[in-house]
A and B are shown apart, each in its own frame.
Chain A
Amino acid sequence: GAGVSQSPRYKVAKRGQDVALRCDPISGHVSLFWYQQALGQGPEFLTYFQNEAQLDKSGLPSDRFFAERPEGSVSTLKIQRTQQEDSAVYLCASSLRDRADGYTFGSGTRLTVV
């Protein structure tokens, strides 16, 4: 597609439920990033993939968060046993190569944990 596609756009989860958020990057983009944006804050880095390799997961807040990109294209961010503090917008971005000015962000998934 023309841009980075994320689904679902909105997700309401009951506390303790597992969720999976999908990111479909721009075709051919090697780099893929996940960010978490809490209300009133800037996006915060979660994890980075170069093709299928997860090269940095230092931003994942706990071991309940897991991300994968098995074929170097679509990525999934999974959150197990969701908690209220996980409520945020989860943004995916892709880049053709490692250029900081080459990011394209998706529209995000707004997760609300009740």
Chain B
Amino acid sequence: RKEVEQDPGPFNVPEGATVAFNCTYSNSASQSFFWYRQDCRKEPKLLMSVYSSGNEDGRFTAQLNRASQYISLLIRDSKLSDSATYLCVVSPGGYNKLIFGAGTRLAVHP
């Protein structure tokens, strides 16, 4: 079983739609949680950190449920430019290596 599991998608949604991605992780001792975005043939870039209290950044809302070991990302009012692969990432702490899920592909169409 992979340490971080995500639905690979693809999610095909029209502009303006709301879309939600989910992720589960196996290591209950994980310390930090993130969503990264990766465009085709580009490097991953940090989208946002995820906190137990939930956090929002514009159209993006991330939530963490430590008891269920579950992380979510909600994108409201999808834009064409949101089309990318979204990577769920956890870190065990210490020197903070990152453990990535396989990613969920999102395609937003006009």
Contact = CB atoms under 8 A, between A and B. Distances in A.
A105 B97 CA distance: 13
Contacts of B43: 91, 105-108
Contacts of A56: 95, 97
Contacts of B97: 33, 45, 48, 56
B35 to A, nearest CB: 11
B99 A105 contact: no
Task: Sort chain A's interface into a size bin.
Answer: 20 to 34
A42 B101 contact: yes
Nearest to B45: A105
Interface string B66-100: 00000000000000000000010101001111111
Interface string B31-67: 1101000000011111001000000000000000000
Interface of A: 31, 33, 35, 40-45, 48, 50, 55-56, 91, 95, 98-101, 103, 105-108
